[in-house]
Amino acid sequence: MPESLEIRVETSMRGIRASHISHQTAQYELLQLIEGIRGISVAMESHVTESKKGSIDQLVVELPAVAAISGALARILRLWLQRDRDREISAEIRLPHSDPVIVKASGEGVSLDALQKAIDTAVTQLQKPKDE
């Protein structure tokens, strides 16, 4: 059985606090876009960090199989990023029992191929035995 893939997506908008309604609206928009992908589970989680005031919201995306839907997710992330050049994402990608790999992207000029390649490279890196 293929391993499920977890991606924790943290969004930001340059010059706008995470608590601002504009950022919260944009984050909710991304949540709705991801919910539209068949076979993907997504939830919003909040956690407190020592380095920042308040809490950080992350979208937690579960893909049932590693490569099954990552292309659709890359298209959604690119679509969301392209709507405002100040939008940024930091995606923590992990398989069960692995250390995460971080993928970051920003701006309206982000390439779908580059984003898809970054996700695929992260997944490939995660699938390698730790001895290599």
**Counting every residue, how long is the chain?**
132
Is the pLDDT confidence value at 2 over 80? no
Each residue's pLDDT tens digit, 79-96: 999 999 999 999 999 888
For the chain, give the secondary structure using H, E and C.
CCCCEEEEEEEEECCECCCCHHHHHHHHHHHHHHHCCCCCEEEEEEEECCCCCCEEEEEEEEECCCCCCHHHHHHHHHHHHHCCCCEEEEEEEECCCCCCEEEEEECCCCCHHHHHHHHHHHHHHHHCCCCC
First CA to last CA distance, the chain: 23
The third-level CATH classification (topology) of the domain covering 5-127 is Alpha-Beta Plaits (3.30.70)
Tell whether the model's pLDDT for residue 24 goes beyond 70: yes
Q: Is the pLDDT of residue 70 over 80?
A: no
> According to the model, what pLDDT value does residue 1 have?
42
Amino acid at 121: T
Least confident of 1-15, 21-35, 72-86: 1-15
Domain positions in the chain are 5-127
Buried b (16+ CB within 10 A) or exposed e, 24-47: eebbeebbebbeebeebebeeeee
